[in-house]
Amino acid sequence: MSAPTINIEENKKLFLDLVGSIERDGINELVAFLEKSDFFTAPASTRFHCSLPGGLALHSLNVYHMFEHKCKSEPFKSILGDMPEDSRKIITLLHDVCKTYMYEIDYRNKKIYSDTGSKRDEKGRFDWAAVEYYTINDRVPYGHGEKSVMMIEEYIKLQPFERYAIRWHMGFSEPKENWNTLGTAIEKYPVILALHQSDLEATYLLEKDMKLSLIHI
């Protein structure tokens, strides 16, 4: 079975068409930053969901589509139905911009089993081979959601609910000591919960077992 791949250029065009249509001062500068960065070639994680080149952009698009579906369905339709289209694009497509320039490629030895291997262990014949893997080198250790907010606001002004949604999009994956604050934030801005759920659904449903085709709902 061949390793999965992502159509990086196709997803880049889809992403830029969506973000480029946002009508907010500074958006062109933000797009320019993304284009010169590694955003479109970076993975979404080191070894979990979309952990391959282009995974970050694909995951962001998947979250966008899951969130759009929520806005059309109850109970979120009544809560989020009148949210501006630009806001929906910003909080979904840019929620993980903090992962830009965060991943690096390193190498480690791995046993590759085959009938022609020059060595043997209890599992059979093998050879050692250097294989690539992703590591994290966080040059700006400012957190996760809060780092995305900081990076976005270097270019565009966020509305308060956008800022809260992106800051808390990890939901109850946050450290337990933050849960009371998170709960208060969700009561104030339910969009946080919708974005968190969309993120989880993209990760565990659309991207599970490396099923990487972009799903439009």
Residue recorded with tokens 């991943």: 103
Q: Which amino acid is at 160?
A: P
How much is the pLDDT for 143?
93
d(CA 159, CA 163) in angstroms, rounded, equals: 6
How much is the pLDDT for 99?
96
Are the CB atoms for 109 and 129 separated by under 8 Å? Answer: yes
How much is the pLDDT for 217?
42
- Residue ranges of the chain with per-residue pLDDT less than 50: 1, 213, 216-217
- DSSP assignment of 58-69 equals HHHHHHHHHHHH
d(CA 45, CA 136) in angstroms, rounded, equals: 9
Does an H or E element contain 200, and which? Answer: helix 191-201
Secondary structure of residue 174 in the 3-state scheme: coil
Domain boundaries, the chain: 8-100+140-207, 105-135
How much is the pLDDT for 67?
96
